[in-house]
Amino acid sequence: MKLPLGIHVGERLSLEQTYWQAELADQNGFESVWVAEGRLARDGIVPAAVIASRTRNVKIGTGVVNNKSRNAALMAVTFKTLDELAPGRAILGIGAWWEPLATKVGQPLRKPVASMREYITVLQSFFRNEVVNFEGEFVQMQDVRFDSMYRENKPVDIPIYIGAVGPRMLELAGEISDGVHMDFLLPPSYLVGAKEAINKGIAKRTDGKDSIDLTQIVACSVNDDDPQEAIDACKAFLTLYLAQQPHIAEHCGVERELVDRIQERAGWPATPEAIKKAMPLVPNSLVQNVTACGSTDDVFSKLMEYHEAGVRCPIISTLGDKEQTLTRLVQAAKG
């Protein structure tokens, strides 16, 4: 395979589609499968475990779970268990959740960088199989470790990737994590500033590492018969994100006025019908800047553009005709 690639699966897919994509990735030399957990549509851990049981080689990451809804000890033992199921293949992708959902469920974002530092520090202590004592502002642990009543406990090698977008979280990722798992809808040009922030964090490391990994989810849609249909599939997705996760707008070059107009048309929570009404506000040029859409050649060229900008492993998230998108990209990667 010319280009390291991964697959992103989530609530937009049926479970049948999820497992088919993961198995196809495993059979065709893809590096990783990342299971989303964003909206209150589907948990990410259960599908990750099923994928682990159905595959043999591909790595299984969460893309991403959040550091608010699961206690750090529970998160640690969850990934210890996933490592038992798929030794050496589990990756913990973790983010700070997003507004307004966090507030709507009683977990408003407050000091997201500080809380992420505490949470990951505790996770790493668990993964080293240490007794954990930690008294932080957000995380408290008192004399706890993995239980060894039923089996011998050993350190587990679980890489931690932070789902970072803003410069302070990117810097933290460079300082304490194993990688950055970047979100959808960021143009390749965004990587310039992102890498600067990551490198600023790497300079603070005390473990001797001089680099971390960089993956990025890329919304992809292929239609060789009707490229505009593929563009429209990505346009609907971008419109939804701008309506419901407007923080992404400042990072992909969208003016606040456009976001306000989209939100006014879409409402909350946005329905497919409302998104369709808001889509005409979004120009093709914006869609093609932050997604990979159109013909097979268009999409693969865009993935290469992300790779050349510094993304070691682009992560394909299929939209539109999902089967055509994935199978054509598999062929292109092998060709």
pLDDT at 196: 98
pLDDT at 152: 85
Q: What is the C-alpha to C-alpha distance for residues 179 and 251, in angstroms, rounded to an integer? A: 20
In order of 9, 45, 86, 237, 243, the CA distances from 227 in angstroms are: 23, 35, 39, 16, 25
pLDDT at 1: 66
**Whole-prediction pTM value?**
0.94
In order of 66, 99, 123, 129, 159, the CA distances from 81 in angstroms are: 18, 30, 14, 14, 14
Taking 70 as the pLDDT cut, the residues of the chain under it are 1
Q: What is the C-alpha to C-alpha distance for residues 23 and 158, in angstroms, rounded to an integer? A: 22
pLDDT at 246: 77
Would you list the domain boundaries of the chain?
6-222+292-334
Task: Identify the helix (H) or strand (E) that includes residue 62.
Answer: strand 59-62
Task: Identify the helix (H) or strand (E) that includes residue 261.
Answer: helix 256-266
Q: Are 309 and 216 in contact (CB under 8 A)?
A: no
pLDDT at 155: 96
Distance of CA 142 to the CA centre of its chain: 31
Domain 6-222+292-334 of CATH type 2.60.40.1510 = no
pLDDT at 108: 87
- State the residue for tokens 């957000």: 138
Local structure of 92: helix, strand or coil? strand
